[in-house]
Chains A and B, each alone.
Chain A
Amino acid sequence: MSIFADPKLGLVPGPVHDRLAEQSRAMAWYDWAGYIAPSVLDSVEFEYFALRNQASLFDISPMHKYRVTGPGAVAMLNRMVTRDIRKIAVGRVGYTLWCDEAGHVIDDGTLFRLGEDDWRLCCQEPMLSWLDDAAWGFDATITDESHTVAGFSLQGPTSFAILEAAGLALADLKPFAFATPEDGLLVSRTGFTGDLGYELWCDWDAALPLWDRIWKAGAHRGLRAIGYEAVDIARLEAGFLTAGVDFQPVHATERLHRGRTPFELGFGRMVDLGKGHFNGRRALLAARAAPRSRLLRLDIEGFKPARGALIYDRFNRELGHVTSGVWSPTAKRNIALAHVKMPQAEAHPARLWAEIYTHEEGRWTTRMARATPMKAPAFAPARARATPPARF
């Protein structure tokens, strides 16, 4: 992701850019799918702690959103994605991945079942031509809603109280469910932080008043507008992957063998090999038994963030590298995601070491730190799942 300081470089403002610009002291913007998006508005520490201890508001309108409708929508989507979407009930949201014919992940995203034959797919990568290809031969219509549907992510322990204060009482809304409390407003209990939180979806033109409404409701509940850097720490704590960082969306790669199967990314449970044919199934059946590598959640000794570190078996045999690494202020652990070679990494998980590169006052050094695979994410609080949620 390139960091832009100058919106004149062809980026366009998002639906609430004026509000974000008012808030921005850091003037740190980046390019998110062609939109001017904040990396940081004030300081990443303030924003991160607001997200974990109060509430945060993050504009996710640049995400790609596609509507899939028609009598063949279920069959079409089920042929495209790896999980059995027939199990997603109306009013529910499902996390899913989709693969190319070689079984390599193209992207991941969330599928909203708006009606029996009415779906919305939210994802990071542009996917229109792929969806059009996938819909050929099916009675399904694809509509690109990327620039007509806006979205905000309201995350943090006080997010439920803020919604309530804004007049949106959603006490019964369970995780991965959504509701339409008002015409033109869809609220889903989803997010990218692993915490209690909601995503609010509305028409592009209705975004500004909605932002103001939430903002006002959050005034006494510690609400803070945040940029991507704070989200990036939170998602790593929750163990979520970022496309292009923790895995390479296969359509964006030019070199051979850079794609990864869901099994290699640790998403084997998201692959339903028994549901009938889906894209890449034949390749996945063959690839399942022998993953080339594995994405691991690691707990790294010490406190130096391990981003970019190489992973070794003992001290000499290189096994892989860290894709994301950060000191988790909430879990008080030094966490990382790393691609490691299989089956070597599995053979001796206790012998993994990270070679961390540090640059301190003009000098580059390396230090070896023990890397311990973690079974669970570093941060998964019970409050994220409680229904009705607490107000705090």
Chain B
Amino acid sequence: MSRFDAIVIGAGINGLAAAATLARAGKSVCVLEQAAAPGGMATLRLDDGPELAPLLWNLSPVVLKAFNIDPATLGLGAPLPAVALDPGGAHIVLRGGWATSLSGETHADGPAFQRLHGQLVTYGALLRRLAEAPPPGGGTLLSQPGLAQLLRLSRLGLDLKRMGKPEMRRFLQVLLSNAYDLILDEMPDGPLAGLLAADAVRGNATGPRSPGSVFTLIYRMGHGGEVRRPEGGMPNLIRRLDEALQKTGCTIRTGTPVARIILEDDRVTGVETKGGEIIEAPRVLSSLGPKSVLGLTGAEAFDIEAARRIRHLRTRGTVAKVNLRLTAPRVPGLPDDLSAARLVYAPSADYVEAAFTPSKYGSLSEAPVIEATCVAAPDGRPWLSANVQYAPADLDGGWDDAACDRLRQITLDTLARALPDLPGAVEELQVIPPTRIAAETGAAGGHWHHAELALDQIFALRPGNGMGRYAMGPRGLYLCGASTHPGGDVMGLAGRNAAAAVLEGWV
């Protein structure tokens, strides 16, 4: 039997970030991971395929600071260009918000796109302020955390003011609206509009016409809107974080699933592993979703209202992973300098909305939105790693082999519309439906963010009223995963914020 100041369940990016933040404050921490290696959803692999999340949008420098890592030494790579695929072959290349054709001429909608992109990035920097701290509510107004919160909110207000009246007005006007209207106010519908619309709803069970999709689009732009591929892929990044964490003296135990969280007199005293081992700690931070945590404590540890909120949390994953093994590390039909680009098949905003519609009724999109990028698996072989949306977790008839075959075919057919030579270069296809992601990682519904990122499930309401400050139910029990503020996206902030909240109330 061993004793720690805190136990962290799950060694995904958020679990690691939470452990690092606590360890940096001098606490003894034990991280328990069910899988054989840390990384969680980001590094989930089937057989010898590539990792589930090959790209980085929003890894937070604040989180890296907790690991005591200089971002410059981490090998995060250069920003990747994006290609908005066009079924007619007139693909559009995006570099730093500037749109050109394959041959380098400026696209007609380029300036409009750049303007909108720039605005979204500005707004994203504003929202990031909120993302980089626990939601308000800790301590009284005059306590140290209370004053820090007040200061943070006043800074946000000042920054908002500093944008100038027209910009501030526009920000507040669009923040809660839908991406479809916002985008099409600025440019005609086409692959550029489609790309933004697709990025607005990525990972969510919403369409670009759903309210709140502007918010999620802005959120995605929180760190400049650039996408990177870390050197050596996500497993390498996680390994670096893991090493940094071990240097702090933190214990990380992989292959150690937790069977239950032990409670005594309404407070946490430790966990019992599936192997029957008891590990003691007065605090447990779980990067699992709240429903899984409830499974580890039993419903009786929670108030009925809390259990109801947990049960009604929307966690319907809509993205399936399809990995296509290629004969060569390049995408047929694209120039070599774009072989590592982020490819987006979303020919128009209308197309994205139409792709969303069947998923509302439990069906696969026949014409899905696809985001793909060519990556090397750890063994060096080239794969096109594709996110296919919408492929709902609650598919009618379930995710059996026939459904997976169907998704495989749909993915190939859809990509072939823009890249006709691609199918000939594909040697093998892997399909990872949301249900599989859920089963492998414990993320409810296989949802990217563990819970829908929507206006009623953000900030102090994430994952639910009364749980927004990471503490839930019995004393010493905390959430630190993507289902808490500010959500997933391999950002690491949820874990870091949770640990910050835990430290605020440390006695």
The 0/1 profile, CB within 8 Å of B marked 1, for residues 128-169 of chain A is 001001101110000000000000000000000000000000
A79 contacts B by Cβ under 8 Å:
yes
Chain B residues with Cβ below 8 Å from A138 are 299-300
Interface stretch among B46-54, B240-248, B301-309, B342-350? B301-309
B266 touches A101 (CB 8 A): no
A88 at the interface (CB under 8 A from B): no
Residues of chain A contacted by B266 (CB below 8 angstroms): 276-277, 281-282
Q: Does B305 lie within 8 Å of A137, measured CB to CB?
A: no
Q: Which residues of B contact A281 (CB under 8 A)?
A: 266
A100 CB within 8 Å of chain B: yes
A136-B299, A277-B474, A282-B266 given; A101·B311 CB < 8 A: no
A138 CA / B304 CA spacing, docked (Å): 12
A249 in contact (CB, < 8 A): no
Verify A279–B303 contact, CB threshold 8 A: yes
CA distance A100 to B465 in the complex (A): 14
Among candidates B298, B301, B304, B466, residue contacting A80 with C-beta atoms closer than 8 Å? B304
Interface of B is mostly: helix
Question: Is there contact, CB below 8 Å, between A101 and B300?
Answer: no
A101 touches B306 (CB 8 A): yes
Interface residues of A in 271-300 (CB under 8 A from B): 276-277, 279-282
A265 contacts the other chain (CB 8 A): no
Contact code string B288-332 (vs A, CB < 8 Å = 1, else 0): 000000100011111111111001000000000000000000000
Known pairs A136-B311, A137-B294; A280 contacts B299 (CB<8 A): no
A75 close to B (CB within 8 Å)? yes
Binary flags per residue of B225-243, CB closer than 8 Å to A gives 1, else 0:
0000000000000000000
Report B-chain residues with C-beta under 8 Å of the C-beta of A276.
266, 300
Q: List residues of A (50-102) whose CB comes within 8 Å of B's CBs.
A: 75, 78-80, 100-101
**In the complex, A276→B474 CA distance in Å?**
11
Given that A75-B300, A277-B266 are contacting pairs, would A133 and B307 also be in contact in the complex, using a CB cutoff of 8 Å?
yes
Interfacial residues of chain B within 80-139, with CB under 8 A of chain A in the complex: none
Contacting residues, chain B, for A280 (C-beta < 8 A): 303
Chain A residues positioned under 8 Å from B311 (CB to CB): 136
| Given known A-B contacts A277-B300, A282-B266, A133 and B474 have beta carbons under 8 A apart | no
**CB <8 Å contact, B305 and A101:** yes
Contacts of B298 in A (CB 8 A): 137
Q: Is the CB of B466 within 8 A of A137?
A: no
Q: Do A100 and B305 contact each other (CB < 8 Å), given the known contacts A137-B298, A282-B266?
A: yes
Question: Which residues of B sit under 8 angstroms from A78, Cβ to Cβ?
Answer: 300
- Write out, one digit per residue, whether chain A residues 103-147 have a CB within 8 A of any chain B CB (1) or not (0): 000000000000000000000000000100110111000000000
With a cutoff of 8 Å between Cβ atoms, the chain A residues found around residue B307 in the complex are 133, 136-137
Minimum C-beta distance from A82 to chain B (A): 13
Q: How far is the CB of A80 from chain B (nearest CB, A)?
A: 7
In angstroms, how far is the closest chain B Cβ from the Cβ of A225?
A: 39
Chain B residues near A277: list those with CB within 8 A: 266, 300-302, 474
Residues of A within 8 A of B299 (CB): 79, 136-138
Given the complex of chains A and B, what is the CA–CA distance between A130 and B474 in angstroms? 22
Interface residue total, chain B, C-beta cutoff 8 A: 16
For B294, the chain A residues whose CB sits under 8 A away are: 137
CA distance in complex: A49, B311 (Å): 53
Chain A residues near B303 (CB-CB < 8 A)? 101, 279-280, 282
Tell me the smallest distance from the CB of B479 to a CB of chain A, in Å.
17
Report the separation of the CA atoms of residues A137 and B299 in the bound assembly, to the nearest whole angstrom: 5
In whole angstroms, what is the CA distance A130 to B307 when docked? 12
- For the complex, what is the distance from the CA of A75 to the CA of B300, rounded to whole Å? 8
B304 A130 Cβ-Cβ under 8 A: yes
A100–B303 Cα gap in the complex (Å)? 8
How far apart are A99's CB and chain B's nearest CB, in angstroms? Answer: 9
Distance A208 CA – B388 CA, assembled complex (angstroms) = 65
Interface residues of B in 464-507 (CB under 8 A from A): 466, 474
Q: How far is the CB of A298 from chain B (nearest CB, A)?
A: 34
A280 CA to B267 CA, complexed, in Å:
15
Which residues of chain A come closer than 8 Å to B306, judged between CB atoms? 101
The smallest C-beta distance from B82 to any residue of chain A, in angstroms, reads 44
User: Among the listed B300, B308, B474, which residue makes an inter-chain contact with A79, where contact means beta carbons less than 8 Å apart?
Assistant: B300
Chain A residues with CB below 8 A from B305, complex form: 100-101, 133, 279
Please give the distance in Å from B145's CB to the nearest CB on chain A. Answer: 20
Which residue of chain A has its CB nearest to the CB of B309?
A101
Docked CA distance A281–B266 (Å): 10
Complex-state Cα separation, A78 to B299, whole angstroms: 12
Nearest CB of B to A146, in Å? 21
> Which residues of chain A are near B302, meaning CB under 8 Å?
277
Closest Cβ of chain B to A78, distance in Å, is: 8
Contact B300 A136 (CB under 8 A): no
Q: A137 — which chain B residues lie within 8 A by C-beta?
A: 294, 298-300, 307
Q: How far is A138 from B311 in the complex, measured between Cα atoms in Å?
A: 14
Within 8 A of A (CB), among B134-182: none
Q: How far is the CB of A76 from chain B (nearest CB, A)?
A: 8
Known: A136-B311, A137-B299. A279 touches B304 (CB 8 A): yes
Which one of A75, A80, A136, A282 contacts B308 once the chains associate, using CB atoms below 8 Å? A136
Docked Cα-Cα span, A133 to B294, in Å, equals 14
CB within 8 Å for A101 and B466 given contacts A134-B304, A136-B308: yes
Q: Closest residue to A100 on the B side, CB-wise?
A: B305
What residue of chain B has the Cβ atom nearest to residue A274's Cβ? B265
Residues of chain B in range 254-302 having any CB-CB distance to chain A below 8 Å: 266, 294, 298-302
Question: Contacts A101-B466, A277-B266, A281-B266; is A133 near B300 (CB within 8 Å)?
Answer: no
In the complex, A150 Cα to B302 Cα: how many Å?
Answer: 35
**B295, closest chain A residue (CB):** A137
A279 to B308, CA, bound (A): 12
Report the separation of the CA atoms of residues A133 and B305 in the bound assembly, to the nearest whole angstrom: 8
CB distance from B499 to the nearest CB of A (A): 23
Known A-B contacts A136-B311, A282-B266; A101 and B474 likewise in contact (beta carbons under 8 Å) = no
Name A323-368 residues within 8 Å CB distance of B: none
Distance to closest chain A CB from B332 (angstroms): 52
* Measured CA separation A280–B466 after assembly (Å): 13
A141 CB, min distance to chain B CBs, angstroms? 15
CA distance A282 to B476 in the complex (A): 13
CB proximity of A183 to chain B, nearest CB, Å: 36
Q: In the complex, A301→B298 CA distance in Å?
A: 54
Tell me how far the C-beta of B477 lies from the nearest C-beta in chain A, rounded to whole angstroms: 12
Question: In the complex, A75→B466 CA distance in Å?
Answer: 24
Complex alpha-carbon distance, A134 and B307, angstroms: 9
Nearest CB of B to A227, in Å: 36
A282 contacts across to B, CB distance below 8 A: 266, 303
Nearest-neighbour CB distance to chain B for A332, whole angstroms, equals 45
A277 to B307, CA, bound (A): 13
Chain B residues in 8 Å Cβ range of A80: 304
Interchain Cβ contacts under 8 Å between A and B, 14 examples:
A75-B300, A78-B300, A79-B300, A80-B304, A100-B304, A101-B305, A101-B306, A101-B466, A133-B307, A137-B294, A138-B300, A277-B266, A277-B301, A282-B303
Known: A101-B466, A279-B304; 16 extra A-B contacts, CB below 8 A, are: A79-B299, A79-B304, A80-B304, A100-B305, A101-B303, A101-B305, A101-B306, A133-B307, A136-B299, A137-B294, A137-B299, A138-B299, A138-B300, A277-B300, A279-B305, A282-B266
Residues of A within 8 A of B (CB): 75, 78-80, 100-101, 130, 133-134, 136-138, 276-277, 279-282
Q: Point out residues on B near A: beta carbons under 8 Å.
A: 266, 294, 298-308, 311, 466, 474
Chain A to chain B: the 4 pairs with minimum beta-carbon distance, closest first: A137-B299, A101-B303, A101-B305, A79-B300
